[in-house]
Amino acid sequence: PKTLRETLQEVIPAKQEQLKKLKTEHGNTVVGDVKVDNIIGGMRGLKAMLWDASVLDPIEGIRFHGLSIPDCQKVLPPAPGGKEILPESMLWLLLTGQVPTPEQTLGLSRELAEKGELPKFLVELVDSFPQTLHPMTQLSMAVAALNHDSSFQAAYEKGIKKTEYWTHTLEDCINLIARLPALAARIYRNVYKPGTPLPAINKDLDLVGNYSNLLGYGDNESLTEYLRLYIALHGDHEGGNASAHTAHLVGSTLADPYLAYSAALSALAGPLHGLANQEVLRWQMAMQKELGSDVSLEQIKEYLWKTLKSGQVVPGYGHGVLRNPDPRFIALQEFCETRPELRDSPIIKLVQQTFQVAPDVLKEHGKTKNPYPNVDAASGCVLYHYGLTEFKYYTVIFGVSRALGALTQLVWARALGLPLERPKSVSIDVLQQLVKQP
C-alpha cells in the first residue's frame, strides 16, 4: 500500500488543476452577496474561504470529505482490538480525502510514535512554567517554541521553490501532531500530578493509546476508546470556526505550522469556543448539587427555566451554524449507551435527561435559533465520569484534536498556493456611505 506522502503526491495535482480551472473560468462569477449583518455580525454565513477537508451542513452536521460521522464510524479503521475511529485514520482522510487501510493506519501510528518524543529544550521549557499558568497558555507557548526545529522555516531561509512548500509544511505538521500527546500529557502531569513519572512513548501504540498512557489512564480501555472517538470527531469542523480560521490566517503569512497552530490554540482557549465543555460540566454539577440524585424531568425543566430567567445561556445548547442535534453529540451519547460501565453514571444520566427536556424549554423560550445540543453538552461530563475531573485541562484535549484538521489544511493551503489572507475592512462611516450607495 501507498504511504501517506505517496498518496498525497498522487492527489495534489488533480486538485491543483481543478482549482486553476475554477479560477480561470469562474474567477468573476458571483456566488453570494455581502450584507451589513455579515460585516458587523462576525462574518456569519459569509462564504469567503477555501477549506477542503470538511463541510458543515446546518441540518445534517459535519461531513469529512463527504463522509458523515456514521459513515466514518463504518469505514475508518479502529485500533487493533478496538471499535472507535482512530484519529490517525481521520488524519489520513482529512489530509488525502481517502480512507486508509488498516495497514496504512498502523504505519502512520508507528511513524507518529517514532517522532513523538519531545526535544530536551522543550521539556525544560515546559517544566519551568509555573503550575498556576493555564494549561492552554502552556500548550500554546510550547507549540510556538517547537518552531525551533521547523523544517519549513529552515527551508524557506535557504530559499526553496513555491512548489516545495507543502512537503516541508507536511513534515512540520506530522512532527507537531506526533509530539502533541507527550507535550499535552507533560502539561497535565506538571499541573495536576507533579512528581509522578511519565512513561516513554510506546512505539507499538497508536497516538491516543500513548496519550492515554502518558496521562496515567493507560489501563482504562474504555476511556482510551472514548478519547480516540473524541479526538477523531473534534478534529475538524470546517474552516470558519475561530481556531481553524486562525491557523489558516497565520499560516497564510508563511509563518510555519508551529506558529500558526500556536495562534489557533489561543483562539481555542476562548470561552465562546473551546472552553464551553468545561462550562457544561460546571452547570450540570451545580444542577446535580441542587437537585440531588433521582431527579425528575419536571425538576430539570424548572432548573432550565431558572437558568434562562437569570439571563444565562444553557451551556452546550445552540450553535452558530447547526440547526439540529449535533451528530457529534449523538455519537458520544451512543458511545455511552453501548458501554455498560457508563450506563449508570449519575452525571451522564443527567446529561441524557437534560437532552430529553431542554429542546422544548429552549423552543418555548424562543430566542436561540437552535434549541438542540452541541457536542459540548456531553463531552466534558464523560471525561468527568472517568475520573478526569480537572476542568481546566479539557480544552487541551480539544487542542490535541483540532490539530488534525487545522494542520492538514495548512498542507493544502501551501499545495494549492493559496495567498496571504487579506479581507477588506470598512469604517463605520464608509459602511454608512455604502448603505446609501451600494
Q: Which residues participate in catalysis according to the annotation?
A: 273, 319, 376
Check binding of 313 to ligand CMX (CB under 6 A): yes
Nearer of residues 8 and 358 to ligand CMX, judged by Cβ: 358
Single residue of 315, 380, 399, 405 touching ligand CMX by CB under 6 A: 315
CB of residue 29 to ligand CMX, shortest distance in Å: 29
Check binding of 385 to ligand CMX (CB under 6 A): no
3-class SS of residue 299? helix
How many other C-beta atoms lie within 10 A of the C-beta of residue 38?
Answer: 15
Residues 165-178 as b or e (16 or more Cβ within 10 Å = b): bbbbbbbbbbbbbb
C-alpha cell at 87: 484519529
Check binding of 235 to ligand CMX (CB under 6 A): no
CB of residue 326 to ligand CMX, shortest distance in Å: 8
Nearer of residues 16 and 368 to ligand CMX, judged by Cβ: 368
Check binding of 248 to ligand CMX (CB under 6 A): no
- Which are the contacts of 326, defined by CB distance < 8 A and separation ≥ 6? 61, 319, 372, 373, 374, 375, 377
Check binding of 278 to ligand CMX (CB under 6 A): no
Nearer of residues 30 and 272 to ligand CMX, judged by Cβ: 272
Check binding of 401 to ligand CMX (CB under 6 A): no
Closest by CA to 287, choosing from 344, 367, 336, 354, is 354
What phi, psi does 419 have (nearest 5°)?
Answer: -85, 175
Check binding of 314 to ligand CMX (CB under 6 A): yes
Nearer of residues 99 and 229 to ligand CMX, judged by Cβ: 229
- Which are the contacts of 108, defined by CB distance < 8 A and separation ≥ 6? 4, 88, 91, 92, 100
CB of residue 3 to ligand CMX, shortest distance in Å: 34
CB of residue 276 to ligand CMX, shortest distance in Å: 3
CB of residue 324 to ligand CMX, shortest distance in Å: 13
Q: How many helices (H) and strands (E) in the chain?
A: 21, 2
Check binding of 287 to ligand CMX (CB under 6 A): no
C-alpha cell at 282: 460546571
The binding track of 354-383 with respect to ligand CMX, each residue x by CB under 6 A or -, is -------------xxxx---x-x-------
Check binding of 91 to ligand CMX (CB under 6 A): no
Q: What is the dihedral of CA 143, 404, 267, 127, to 10 degrees?
A: -30
- Which are the contacts of 428, defined by CB distance < 8 A and separation ≥ 6? none
Check binding of 327 to ligand CMX (CB under 6 A): no
Positions in the binding site for ligand CMX (CB under 6 A): 272-273, 276, 308, 313-320, 367-370, 374, 376
